[in-house]
């Protein structure tokens, strides 16, 4: 564990409810909390778990499209609203589409590694139910190359991008197997979400999830190769997590046992203006995972828990391949065989993932880190999976755009 010049810990993770269709309290025509609510709730949810908030040095907020969804920019300005400790301290908003949350994590960590801070709070947030899905699709398409791709693109731009990936996989690995794998991914996501009271699908009572997951795509109304259940949710939500150096942990009054060590990460960028080299692979995610493993000096089989960016069920299958836990073209079988279930070889997306918990885009990267940290510290509630002592590691991998912007991060039960 020598990659970083000092130890970095994560602690005090908090996720709000992911609000949107599926939640009982959600009603599209009734007023709902705004973006500031989620920022405040997430931030305070984290701060309430530490002793000395006055010793937080900085704030980083990850957000994708508040400027369009909520007509809101300048999000750093919300930190002092969360807590007076942030008044006149450095705060910054970062953006990398659906990986905005992931970028918030690495920005916080780099600040600490640069000796500019000992304690940095990350918040991720997105409020997307402010417009109908058809307009939300426009806003989210900003994760692609607007002047190069949007005009030719589909009404549901991103679902179609991943529908094309599904189509390519059907052709290469067989329609039946891929379809079954995607449906099983959906089943697992909902089953896990039912154990997570904050998940958007927590209230899902469907008695035949597999049949729902197998629903035939309807290209006239949606996409050619995927159905609406293959998609992550349109969600409002926020997450927060605090990163600290060893010194920082002491300053905020958090004991080592309540923290998890962040032992490596990789932030990887691909070119937004070029098409993916191979639709059947998440190549950028694979590079990120490999680097993260190498830097942590571990192998995929050392993981006890994994959280991947399943913006679509097909992305989930390709992401477990990119994370190296399943071989190329074997993701579907790997999932069908139950290996990613909470009791499987590598419990994956144990709190529901983007399909089950929901996908408040700019918050997702932070949410994933929070959930991995909770698992490793034994605080995952009904979602808790077994963390064996010989495999004290967990990894999250979050992705922005169509495999363009990726952060992979490895955590470990703290060894000190």
Partner 1 sequence: MNLDERLQNVTIIGAAGKMGSGIAVLVAQEMSKLKLKQENKGKIYRLNLVDITEEALDGLRSYLRVQLVKAAEKSTVLLRQIYADRKDLIENGEIINAFVDDTYALLNFTTDYNIAKDSHLVFEAIFENEEIKIKVLKSLKEICLPDALFLTNTSSIPISFLDEKAGLGGRIVGYHFYNPPVIQKLVEIIYADNTTEELKEIGLEFGKRLRKKLVPAADISGFIGNGHFSRDGLYALNKVEELKDEYGYHGALYIMNKVSQDFLVRPMGIFQLIDYVGLDVFQSLLRVMKTHLKLEHLNSDLLNKFMDKKIAGGQNPNGSQKDGFIKYEKNRPAGVYNIEEGKYRMFDEDWRAGIDKKLNPTNEKFAPWRALLMDGKKMEKLGTHFNNLKGMNTYGSELALDFLKTTKDIGENLVKDGVANSEKEVNEVLMNGFFWLYGPIHNFI
User: Where does this chain bind partner 1 (CB under 8 A)?
Assistant: 132, 134-135, 137-138, 141, 146, 150-151, 154-156, 208, 211, 219-222
How would you classify residue 190: left for phi > 0, otherwise alpha for psi between -120 and 50, otherwise beta?
alpha
Is 134 or 416 the residue whose CB approaches partner 1 more closely? Answer: 134
> CB of residue 201 vs partner 1: minimum separation in angstroms?
16
> CB of residue 122 vs partner 1: minimum separation in angstroms?
31
Tokens 């994933």 label which residue?
Answer: 368
Distance, CA of 307 to CA of 380 (rounded, Å): 13
Question: Among 314, 337, 321, which Cα is nearest to 397's?
Answer: 321
Label residues 57-95 b or e (16+ Cβ within 10 Å = b): bbbbbbbbbbebbbebeebbebbeebbebbeeeebbbbb
Is 137 or 319 the residue whose CB approaches partner 1 more closely? Answer: 137
Cα–Cα separations (whole angstroms), residue 121 to 115, 150, 166, 328: 15, 35, 37, 37
Is 34 or 148 the residue whose CB approaches partner 1 more closely? Answer: 148
Is 36 or 224 the residue whose CB approaches partner 1 more closely? Answer: 224
Is 212 or 384 the residue whose CB approaches partner 1 more closely? Answer: 212
Contact present, 58 and 90 (Cβ < 8 Å) = yes
> CB of residue 155 vs partner 1: minimum separation in angstroms?
4
Q: Which two tokens stand for residue 24?
A: 């009982």
Is 8 or 223 the residue whose CB approaches partner 1 more closely? Answer: 223
SS3 92: strand
Q: Which residues contact 5 (CB under 8 A, 6 or more apart)?
A: 113
> CB of residue 283 vs partner 1: minimum separation in angstroms?
28
> CB of residue 253 vs partner 1: minimum separation in angstroms?
49
Strand 119-127 with 8-15, pairing:
unpaired
Distance, CA of 251 to CA of 245 (rounded, Å): 9
What backbone phi and psi angles, to 5 degrees, belong to 413? -55, 135
Contact present, 159 and 185 (Cβ < 8 Å) = no
Is 7 or 154 the residue whose CB approaches partner 1 more closely? Answer: 154
> CB of residue 135 vs partner 1: minimum separation in angstroms?
5
> CB of residue 231 vs partner 1: minimum separation in angstroms?
15
Per-residue DSSP letter, 231: B
> CB of residue 197 vs partner 1: minimum separation in angstroms?
23
Is 208 or 390 the residue whose CB approaches partner 1 more closely? Answer: 208
Is 66 or 244 the residue whose CB approaches partner 1 more closely? Answer: 66
Cα–Cα separations (whole angstroms), residue 153 to 26, 68, 260: 31, 20, 42
User: Kind and range of the H or E element at 316?
Assistant: helix 313-322
> CB of residue 223 vs partner 1: minimum separation in angstroms?
9
In the chain, the N- to C-terminal Cα span, in Å, equals 12
């Amino acid at each position: 564990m020598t990659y970083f010049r000092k130890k970095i810990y994560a602690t005090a993770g908090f996720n709000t409810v992911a609000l949107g269709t599926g939640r009982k309290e959600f009603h599209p025509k009734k007023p709902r909390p705004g973006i500031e609510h989620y920022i405040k709730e997430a931030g305070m949810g984290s701060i309430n778990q530490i002793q000395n908030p006055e010793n937080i040095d900085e704030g980083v907020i990850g957000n994708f499209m508040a400027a369009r969804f909520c007509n809101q920019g300048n999000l750093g300005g919300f930190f002092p609203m969360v807590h007076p400790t942030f008044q006149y301290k450095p705060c910054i908003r970062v953006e990398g589409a659906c990986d905005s949350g992931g970028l918030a994590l690495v920005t916080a960590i780099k600040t600490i590694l640069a000796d500019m801070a000992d304690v940095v709070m990350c918040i991720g947030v997105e409020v997307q139910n402010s417009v109908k899905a058809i307009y939300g699709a426009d806003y989210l398409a900003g994760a692609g190359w607007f002047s190069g791709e949007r005009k030719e693109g589909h009404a549901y731009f991103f679902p179609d991008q991943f529908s094309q990936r599904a189509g390519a996989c059907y052709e290469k690995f067989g329609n039946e197997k891929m379809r079954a794998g995607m449906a099983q991914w959906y089943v697992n996501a909902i089953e896990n979400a039912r154990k997570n009271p904050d998940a958007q699908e927590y209230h899902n009572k469907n008695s035949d999830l597999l049949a729902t997951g197998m629903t035939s795509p309807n290209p006239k109304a949606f996409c050619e190769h995927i159905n609406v259940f293959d998609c992550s949710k349109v969600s409002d939500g926020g997450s927060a997590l605090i990163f600290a150096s060893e010194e920082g942990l002491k300053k905020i009054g958090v004991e080592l046992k309540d923290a998890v060590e962040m032992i490596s990460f990789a932030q990887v960028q691909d070119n937004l203006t070029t098409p993916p080299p191979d639709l059947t692979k998440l190549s950028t995610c694979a590079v990120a995972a490999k680097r993260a493993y190498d830097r942590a000096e571990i192998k995929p089989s050392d993981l006890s828990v994994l959280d991947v960016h399943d913006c679509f069920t097909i992305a989930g299958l390709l992401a477990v391949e990119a994370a190296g836990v399943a071989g190329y073209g074997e993701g579907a079988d790997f999932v069908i065989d139950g290996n990613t279930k909470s009791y499987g070889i590598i419990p994956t997306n144990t709190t529901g993932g983007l399909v089950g918990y929901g996908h408040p885009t700019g918050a997702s990267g932070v949410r994933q880190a929070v959930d991995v940290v909770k698992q490793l510290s034994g605080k995952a509630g009904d979602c808790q999976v077994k963390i064996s002592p010989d495999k004290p590691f967990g990894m999250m991998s979050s992705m922005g755009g169509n495999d363009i912007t990726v952060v992979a991060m490895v955590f470990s039960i703290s060894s000190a």
